[in-house]
Structure 1
Amino acid sequence: MADSPTDKPKRKPEILARRSVARSRLFHVEEIDLRFSNGVETCYERLVGSGRGAVIIVPMQADGSVLLIREYAAGTDRYELGLPKGLVEQEEDLLAAANREIMEEIGFGANRLEILGALTVAPGYMSHTTHVILAQDLYAKRVPGDEPETIEVVPWPLQNLTKLLLCEDCTEARSIAALFMAREKLMG
């Protein structure tokens, strides 16, 4: 385990029961009855992920600019500026998924792909993990994707990351965290 600020790991609660309470095309809501090490029992609800997770890709051009995308986000009902991302398909490894996603969304593949880490969003009630992938040595290649409209590609100098954070349409936490992770990696 990476350096952790905790003195010692806590014992996880015992799962007493699980129940599926709702399911849609995208989401599975589960209730879990838990017993904590101090004897307290409680019920939690959580969104259960697919298990394969997702990738978010930081595609870097040779000039030091990152290729962002602007696409419609139904959750906020607006166009959002962020990084290419998508679910990992069945039997697909993380780097292959990342390369496929950038070919679909920005029209480039990468000769060099590197896993930088993993992110969770709201881990108190979501089991979904997004893997951050740095993509370098890009080459032009577009493959068909599942997007309902053409995605706008926006090159942005990574050195101007602070200015990007001032843009009102750049608020997606995974994109922001992944950009900082890539900047730290590239700066050595």
Structure 2
Amino acid sequence: MKHQLLQRSVVYNGRAFSVALHQLRLPDGRTRSYDVVEHNPAVTVVPLTAEGEVLFVRQFRVGSGTELLELPAGVLQDGEDPAEGAAREIREETGFAAGQLHSLGGFFMAPGYSTEYMHLFLATHLSPDPLPQDDDEFLQLVRLPAGQAVAMALGGEIQDGKTLVALLLARSFLPL
């Protein structure tokens, strides 16, 4: 016997996510309730310039209470293809379009309590082609040599999880 969803009820509906109560039957027949953050899939992009730099954004994050150095990322719109979302996000957050996008895979952000799945992409052959930023985003573009970016990730200087995973999965494509 596997886990079986018996009931799902939304207890909070917000702008970015909802919280639902899932009632499950466990493999041993018992039932248990779980709080689940239901979140659209998202994308993170590793933009690599022809000069071997990686483009980051520095932005304030409410959850950490501080500014973080992150790779461009964002939530997919309903039904949006991950590659299309990655192409849109890089233009919104860095002002550059990707001539090529290469999938690096993906992962669940926090599978113990959230449905959010993060798709990862390497973007190359960049050219200026900005889109307007979201009205609540105040981003500072930061360019770092790829080797320095990976060293910062390995040295604990980058604290954003999606950025760490994306950089490490992109390592074999980066000029270190």
Same fold (TM over 0.5): yes
DSSP 3-state at the match of 2:147 = helix
TM-score by length of 1: 0.85
Q: Are 1:110 and 2:98 an aligned pair?
A: yes
Q: CA deviation at 1:149?
A: 5.0
Gaps in structure 2 of 5+ consecutive residues? none
When normalised by structure 2's length, the TM-score is 0.90
| Structure 1: 5+ residue stretches without partners | 1-10
Match for residue 6 of structure 2 among 12, 16, 27? 16
Count of aligned pairs between the two proteins: 174
Counting only pairs closer than 5 Å after superposition, residues 50-129 of structure 1 correspond to structure 2 as 50=40, 53-129=41-117
Partner Cα separation in structure 2 for residue 110 and residue 66 of structure 1: 13
Q: What residue in structure 2 maps to residue 8 of structure 1?
A: none
- Residue pair 2:146, 2:174 contacting (<8 A) in 1 also: no
Conserved in 2, the CA contact under 8 Å of 1:27 and 1:48?
A: yes
Secondary structure of the corresponding residue to residue 7 of structure 2: strand
Q: What is the CA–CA distance in structure 1 between the aligned matches of 2:146 and 2:112, rounded to whole Å?
A: 31
What corresponds to 1:46 in structure 2? 36
Percent identity, please.
34
Structure 1 contact 15–32 (Cα < 8 Å) conserved: yes
| Alignment CA distance shift 1:78-1:99 (3 Å) | same
Indicate how the Cα distance of structure 1 residues 15 and 164 shifts in structure 2: closer, same or farther if over 3 A, else same. closer
- Paired residue for 1:175, among 148, 157, 163? 163
What amino acid maps onto 1:15 in structure 2?
L
For residue 165 of structure 1, report the CA deviation from its aligned partner.
4.5
Q: Which residue of 2 aligns with 1:28?
A: 18
CA distance in 1: counterparts of 2:17 and 2:79, whole angstroms: 21
What is the aligned-residue RMSD (CA, Å)?
1.8
